[in-house]
Amino acid sequence: MKSSTNNFGTAPVFFTAISTILGAILFLRFGFATGMLGFWGVILIILLGHLVTIPTALAISELATNKRVEGGGEYFIISRSFGLNVGGTIGIALFLSQAISVAFYVIAFTESFQYFFEWVHKTYEIVLPRQVISIPVMLGLSALILKKGANLGVKALYVVVAILFVSLTLFFLGNTNHAAGSSFNLFSAQFRNIDQFFFVFAIIFPAFTGMTAGVGLSGDLKKPGKSIPLGTLGGTFTGMIIYFFIVYKLALSAGPADLVNDQLVMARIAMYGTIVIPLGLAASTISSALGSVMVAPRTLQALAYDHSFPLKRLNWWLSRSRKHDKEPVNASLVTCIIALIFVAFGDVNAVAGIISMFFMVTYGSLCLISFMNHFGSSPSYRPSFHSRWYISLTGFLVALWVMFKINTPYALFAIGMMILLYFYISSYHRHRSGMQAIVANVLFQMNRNIQVFLQKSASAKTDKEWRPSVICISKDSFERTSAFDLLNWISYKYGFGTYLHLIEGYFSRSTHEESKIILKDLLRKFDKVENHVFVDTLISPSYTSAIAQAIQIPGIAGMENNMVIFEFDKTKPHLKEIVENFSLVNAGGFDVCIVGSAHKPIKKREEIHIWIRSSDTENANLMIMLGFIIQYHPLWEKSSIRIFEVCKPEEREHIRQKLEELLLTGRLPITSKNVEIISDNEGLPMKQLISNRSESAGLTILGFREESLKHYGVELFRGYESIGTTLFVNSFAKKVIE
C-alpha cells in the first residue's frame, strides 16, 4: 500500500541492500567455502549466484521504471504483472521468507558473541544456549521497530554500514601469521573438491539474496523509479566486487585447514580482529535483520490491502497503518511474532533451505515477467531503464536450475506448496483476473511470428500437404449448431476452423455494438462444449457480400483457407442462396461442404457412411479424408466408417481391389468388411438406395459435382429427409491420400 510519507531517497535502498549482502554468510561461511573449494571454486559460486541476482536486479530496475511501484516491493511488481492470485501466492511465500530471515539473522548475530560463550564455558563450565542472547535481541528489535518504525531503521542503517565499512577495511589491512599457512598464488590457485560444489553453493547462496532487500521500501520512496534501479544495481555490483576481494584476501591469508575449521577465521586475519570482526558480524547481521524487519511488514500489508487472505477482518487489520507516521504496525507485530518463534527454536538451518527456495521463486518470477514483457512487446510497456530479454531469460532459467541443484526435495516442496497456495487463494477469489494480459501479449507475438514464418514457408514450397482450413458463415447460430459442430469435428485434431455469425445490415455504431453482444453470447454458448474453433461475427448487407468478404480473410493457422461450409435445415430447405453463391466460392478454388441438418441428435458409436460413385472420383478422396478426420473427435471415436461404392456390375472386382489398396496404402482405419460395392442395376434410385442403407447412420457423406448442381439446382439436396445429418462434398481438385 502506498504510504503518504514518501520521504526516502536512493541511499536507504542501497544501504538496505548492501548491508544484507555483506551479512552473516560473508563473515561465517566465506572462509569455509574458500577452504573447501579453493579460490576459483568460490569465484565460480559468486559468478553463478550473480547469474541470478544481476538479471533480477536489472529486471526490477526495468519494471520499477515502467510504472509507479507502490508498497510491497517485489510483491507489488509480481501481482500487477501476473495478477493478484499469482501475486498473492508468491507474495505470501516471500513474506514468510522475509519474516523467517529476521530470525536467521538474529541467530547469526549471536555468533558474534562466540568468545563470550567460550569464556563462560571455560570460567564457569556452563554451556549457555544461544537463546540467552538471541531472544532479548529479538525482543529489543521488535520494540524498536514497533515504536519507531522504518525511520529509526534507516537511521540505524547508516551507523551499521559505517561499522561494517570499518571492520572490512581492517580485515583487508590485516597481515597476521596465518599467511604463513597459505601457499596461495593467483596463477596456480586450485579448484578443490569439485564434487562438493553445490553443497557449498547451498551454504553460500543466502548471501546473494539481500540485493532486493531495499525494494521492499518502495512505498516509502520519493521516486521509486529512480531509487530502486540505482540502489538495487549499486548494491548488487558493489557486493559482488567486495566478494571477489574478500575471497582473494582469505585465500592469501590462511591455509585450507584454518579456513574450513574456524568459522571466525576473519577475526584472526584482520587488524584488531577479535574486536572488529565480531563487531562487523554483529553490525551486518543486525542490519540484515533490521532490513528484513522493515521490509517484511510492508509485503504483508500490501498482501492484506489486496485482500489476499480469506478473512475480511484479518485483511482490514493487517492493512491498517499508524496514523501519525503511516507505519504498518499491525503487520510489523505479526512479523516480529513469527521471527521470535523461530528465534526461540534456535536453529533455522532446515528452514533456511526453504527460504532460499522461495527467494529463488521470487527472483525467477521477476526475471520471467521482464522476459515476457520484452517478448510480448505491449505498447504500454515503456520502461525508462532497459534490460535485455536474453538476460532476463537467463536469470529465470538459472534460478530454476539452481533451485533443484541446491536441494531437489526442498525445490519440489516449495513448488508444491506454491501450487496448493495458488489454488486455495483462487478458491475464494475466483472473480479476479490472472496473468491473461501478459500471457496474451506473448501469445500475440508468437502467433504473429509463426503466421509470418508459415506464410513465407508456404510460398517457398512447391509440394504442399493438404489439411483442412475451413471457414463457415451462418445466420442461424442460435437456432441450430450443425455447421459449428461439423467445423468443430474437423478442427479437433487435424484441421483449423473459423466460424462467422452473419449479421445482415450495414456497418454502423449500433450494428457494431450488437455484434459485440452477439459474440459474447456465442462464446458463452460454445464454451459449454470442448471446441477448437475461432468464433467471430461479420456485418454485411447481404449473404453474397458476406461470402465474398469471408473467403478473402486469412486463415487463423497462418495458411490460406481452403474449404467453405454452408448449412441448411432439411425440414425447410432454403437452399437458393447456397446454390446461387456456389460459383462465387468455386471461383476462389475452395472445397465446398454443405451440411443438411436433421433434428435427430447424434449419439456416440453411430456410424459414418460414405457414398461414392465410380463417376465421381474427384470427390471420393476428400470424402474419405473427412470421414477419417471427423472420427478423431471424442463424439465419433468409438464409431466405425462404412464405405459404399456404386458402380457398374462389370467393374465390381476392379473397384473393390482399387478401393482396398487405397485404404491399405493410405493407412486409413477402415477394414475391408466395412467396404460394400453395390451394382447400379439393382433397380432403386440412388436417393432411395442411400435412404434405405443409411437410415441409422449418424452422419452420411455424399459427393456432388458442379455439373449436377447446375442441372438440378436445389433439388440435388432434397430427398434425404429420412436419414440423419447429411454432408454434401465438392472437392475443387482431387486430393491425394498418401
For residue 458, list its beta bridge partners.
Answer: none
Beta-bridge mates of residue 703: 729
Cβ neighbours for 255, distance < 8 A, ≥ 6 positions apart:
35, 178, 181, 182, 183
Residues written for the chain: 738
| Cα–Cα distance measured from residue 69 to residue 63, given in angstroms and rounded to the nearest whole number | 8
**Contact criterion met (CB below 8 Å) for 688 and 676:** no
Whether the CB-CB separation of 210 and 23 falls below 8 Å is answered with yes
**212 in Cβ contact with 60 (< 8 Å):** yes
Q: Which long-range contacts (CB under 8 A, 24 or more apart) does 136-141 make?
A: 137/106, 137/109, 137/110, 137/286, 138/102, 138/103, 138/106, 138/336, 138/339, 138/340, 138/343, 139/340, 141/102, 141/106, 141/286, 141/289, 141/290, 141/293, 141/336
Distance, C-alpha 624 to centroid of its chain: 41
Burial of 467 (0-12, 13-18, 19+ CB in 10 A): middle
Q: Which stretch of DSSP H or E encloses residue 269?
A: helix 265-269
For residue 537, what pLDDT is reported? 93
Whether the CB-CB separation of 333 and 99 falls below 8 Å is answered with no
Contact 520, 493 (CB under 8 A): no
Strand order in the sheet with 725-730: 533-540, 496-504, 469-474, 563-569, 591-597, 725-730, 699-703, 608-613, 641-647, 675-679
CB contact at 8 A, 680 and 650: no
Rounded to 5°, angle at Cα 107 from 242 and 112: 60
Q: What is the pLDDT of residue 67?
A: 66
Neighbours of 482 (CB within 10 A): 24
Other CB atoms within a 10 A radius of the CB of residue 450 amount to: 12
Q: Are 389 and 106 in contact (CB under 8 A)?
A: no
Distance separating alpha carbons of residues 262 and 48, to the nearest angstrom? 25
What pLDDT shows up at residue 458?
60
Closest CA to 166 of 283, 54, 87, 64: 283
CA distance 23 to 293: 15
326 close to 5: Cβ distance less than 8 angstroms: yes
**CA–CA gap between residue 354 and residue 70 (Å, rounded):** 27
Q: What is the pLDDT of residue 418?
A: 81
- What are 625's three cell numbers? 479424408
Task: Kindly list the structural domains of the chain, giving each domain's residue range(s) and its CATH number in brackets, ordered by start.
Answer: 10-71+101-346 (1.20.1740.10), 465-730 (3.40.50.12370)
Low-confidence ranges of the chain (pLDDT < 70): 1-7, 67-72, 149-155, 176-184, 213-220, 346-355, 377-380, 433-438, 440-441, 443-444, 447-448, 450-465, 557-558, 573, 662-669, 671, 681-683, 737-738
Grid cell, residue 79, equals: 501481482
What is the C-alpha separation between 564 and 586, in angstroms, rounded?
10
The model's pLDDT over 30-63, given as tens digits with 9 standing for 90+, comes to 888 999 998 999 999 999 989 988 998 888 778 7
pTM summary value: 0.64
256's grid cell: 585450507
Burial 701-716 (b: 16+ CB within 10 A, else e): bbbbbeeebeeeeeeb
pLDDT by residue (tens digit) across 513-532? 999 999 999 998 888 887 88
b/e burial code for range 4-38 (CB count within 10 A of at least 16 → b):
eebebebbbbbbbbbbbbbbbbbbbbbbbbbbbbb
In 3D, which of 510, 110, 600 has the Cα closest to residue 346?
A: 110
